[in-house]
Amino acid sequence: MGIPTKDASVVIVGAGPAGLMLAGELRLAGVDVIVIERLPRPTGESRGLGFTARTMEVFDQRGLLRRFGEVETSPHGHFGGLPIDFSLLDGKHFAAKTIPQADTEKMLFEWAAGEGADIRRGWELVGLRDDGAGVDIDVGTPDGARRLRAGYLVGCDGGRSAVRKAAGFDFPGTAATREMFIADLTGATIKPRVIGETVPGGMAMGGPIAGGITRIVVCEMGAPPRKRAEPPPFEEVAAAWQRLTGEDISHGTPVWTTSFGDATRQVTEYRRGRVILAGDAAHIHLPAGGQGMNASIQDSVNLGWKLAAVINGWAPPALLDTYHSERHEVGKRLLMNTQAQGLLFLNGDEVQPLRDVLSELLRYEDVRRHLALMVTGLEIRYEVGPGDHPLLGMRMPHVDLLTVSAATSTTRLLHPARGVLIDLAGDGGLRAEAAAWADRIDVVNAVPATQEAGPLSGLSAVLLRPDGYVAWAAPGSGDDLETVLRRWFGAPGAGAKHEPVAAGSAVAQ
């Protein structure tokens, strides 16, 4: 006898940063979504300790940044341990430094659940079948086996993704060559060591993080990669730390420990039929420069509106394919830069000449800017169509705006996750032209709030995609507005249709 379970347009596997961000984005577009998460409750553990400038912007454009309260930011960054001052970048935000990943996940959970996502903890995907019309998902739950049926299944289930394996995605790359440890602890004092501080025999970094806790990261030369079922015992981490630094921390109290490696892999396609991957499920790499969670969140922001457009019935034919073409390229560069950083900070004296050459190059502002843009994700330029305006395909930076009745900003206009056509020249014709897309696009008459129009300088209008990237700018785009509206927002008046979830039994096995 089976207990009927709820069908959904989308089932997301994994309530990590990628899964929760995607759930929230889909809900903003009115899509019904179930998130299944195998852990009955959050672990409270934090691999990441902050997020990049671009993720600050992404949270801000959904009105989420304020949920953290005061966010401490810092312009100090690095590339492979070589310091870079990020204040040379344009933008409203620097990276957040003191928000543990667990707090980010908590914020995203509360947001997504508040928007109506159905998040089921203790539910683990154990199998799936895409029959072309929908996906059957076999799930283990505290109450026994269940089967869900969804229009689409998105695997946001991390580096060891069961979805990736079950759906047969190719995941080429290089295997881990070494094992590294992290331990958060209290009750033991260490000499603070910054990233890139090599010591004879390996790399050791550590220092205070929030809440009176000290974090250490240890990489011993020659420590072979190991598959562990359990986190490494604190004694093992403390012993490695002592061998490298001479400091005895064995009397400390561990908060948590984990081991990780430098395996670098990426799926060859981000979607196979009705099964899609986002986040670590699609790409794994050395955690260098704090980028993984950011890339995962941004995968989801890229995917959310496109998948919603398909489900809501207005997606132009190739829209969902651009999720792969845009994010695979971003992931490829992420793998490249984390591998390069690993070579710099995880090796010994043999790479010192390389560090020295790069240090010399870093005296040039263009080089610093190039690397800073790369690791913050602010370099991303999507292929949006012909044109020579520098904003095309780039993320829209924050600009304060005034409408006839209120103060607003480019950031604020993106809160509802819809397209935004900003008419800066009061051209009534634009509004009339976009009227047939009114269910997908907000048309706003506004002018920059200050004399300094910044990136909007010289423009009469700009069209933003729901993910905050510039699809069209006038003058400067090689296409007319209607062509671009059709390219990114589908046929006029085609919205508001919901693709029905193909009929399925949705019963327990």
Ligand X SMILES: Cc1cc2nc3c(=O)[nH]c(=O)nc-3n(C[C@H](O)[C@H](O)[C@H](O)COP(=O)(O)OP(=O)(O)OC[C@H]3O[C@@H](n4cnc5c(N)ncnc54)[C@H](O)[C@@H]3O)c2cc1C
* Chain positions contacting ligand X, by CB under 6 A: 13-19, 36-39, 47-49, 101, 124-125, 156-158, 162, 182, 260, 279-281, 287, 290-294, 296
CA dihedral 258, 259, 264, 265 (to 10 degrees): -60
Tokens (6 digits) for 254? 């561990």
Considering the complex, what minimum distance in angstroms separates the CB of residue 214 from ligand X? 15
Q: What is the DSSP letter of 421?
A: E
Closest approach of Cβ 279 to ligand X, in Å? 2
* Torsion, CA 326, CA 330, CA 331, CA 337, rounded to 10: 170
The nearest distance, CB 37 to ligand X, in angstroms, is 5
Cβ(264)–Cβ(284) under 8 Å? yes
User: Minimum Å distance from CB 292 to ligand X?
Assistant: 3
CB of 446 to ligand X, least distance (A): 33
Residue 509, both tokens: 């096995």
Give the residue with the Cβ less far from ligand X, 38 or 440.
Answer: 38
Q: Residue 459 CB, nearest distance to ligand X (Å)? A: 33
Task: Return the number of other C-beta atoms located less than 10 Å from residue 211's C-beta.
Answer: 10
The CA angle 467-469-471, to the nearest 5 degrees, is 120
Identify any residues that bridge with 421 across adjacent strands, giving them in sequence order.
443, 463
What are phi and psi for residue 268, nearest 5 degrees?
-80, -20
CB of 35 to ligand X, least distance (A): 9
Helix 292-311 × helix 321-345 angle, to 10° = 180
Residue 176 · residue 261 · CB < 8 Å = yes
218 beta partners = 181, 204
Considering only CA atoms, which of 121, 126, 120, 76 is closest in space to residue 96?
A: 76
Shortest distance, position 177 Cβ to ligand X, whole Å: 15
Cα separation of the two ends of the chain: 8
When the beta carbons of 293 and 394 are compared against ligand X, the nearer one is 293
- Closest separation between CB of residue 300 and ligand X, Å? 8
- As measured in angstroms, the least distance from the Cβ of 205 to ligand X is 12
Considering the complex, state which of residue 241 and residue 260 has its C-beta at the smaller distance from ligand X: 260
Closer residue to ligand X (CB): 283 or 398: 283
Identity of the residue, 252 or 290, whose beta carbon is nearer to ligand X in the bound complex = 290
The answer to whether 469 and 394 are in contact (CB under 8 A) is yes
Is 30 or 173 the residue whose CB approaches ligand X more closely?
173
Q: Is 14 or 196 the residue whose CB approaches ligand X more closely?
A: 14
The backbone torsions φ and ψ at residue 99, rounded to the nearest 5 degrees and listed phi first, read -115, 105
Alpha-carbon gap, residue 139 to 153, rounded angstroms: 13
**Could you tell me the maximum CA-CA distance found in the chain, to the nearest angstrom?**
72
> What is the token pair recorded at 181?
């440890």
Least Å distance, CB 364 to ligand X, is 27
What six digits make up the tokens of 159?
A: 């580096």
Please report where in the chains the tokens 């400067």 appear, as a residue. Answer: 476
* Nearest distance in Å: CB 148, ligand X: 12
CB of 82 or CB of 315, closer to ligand X: 82
Which residues, in sequence order, are bridge partners of residue 8?
150
Q: Of the two residues 287 and 495, which places its CB atom closer to ligand X in the complex?
A: 287
In the complex with ligand X, the residue whose CB is nearer, 215 or 306, is 215
Pick 57 or 423: Cβ nearer ligand X: 57
Report CA-CA distances (Å) from 311 to 93, 133, 302.
34, 13, 15
- Which CB, 174 or 450, lies closer to ligand X? 174
Q: Exposure of 451 by Cβ count < 10 A (0-12 exposed, 13-18 middle, 19+ buried)? A: exposed
Instruction: List strands edge to edge, sheet with 202-209.
Output: 198-199, 202-209, 213-220, 179-186, 253-261
Residue 173 burial (CB count, 10 A): 15
Q: Packing angle between helix 292-311 and helix 17-28, nearest 10 degrees?
A: 30
Two tokens, residue 108: 């995203």
Our CB check for ligand X shows the closer of 31 and 36 to be 36
The minimum distance between CB 108 and ligand X, in angstroms, equals 9
HEC secondary structure over 242-301: HHHHCCCCCCCEEEEEEEEECCEEECCCCEECCEEECHHHCEECCCCCCCHHHHHHHHHH
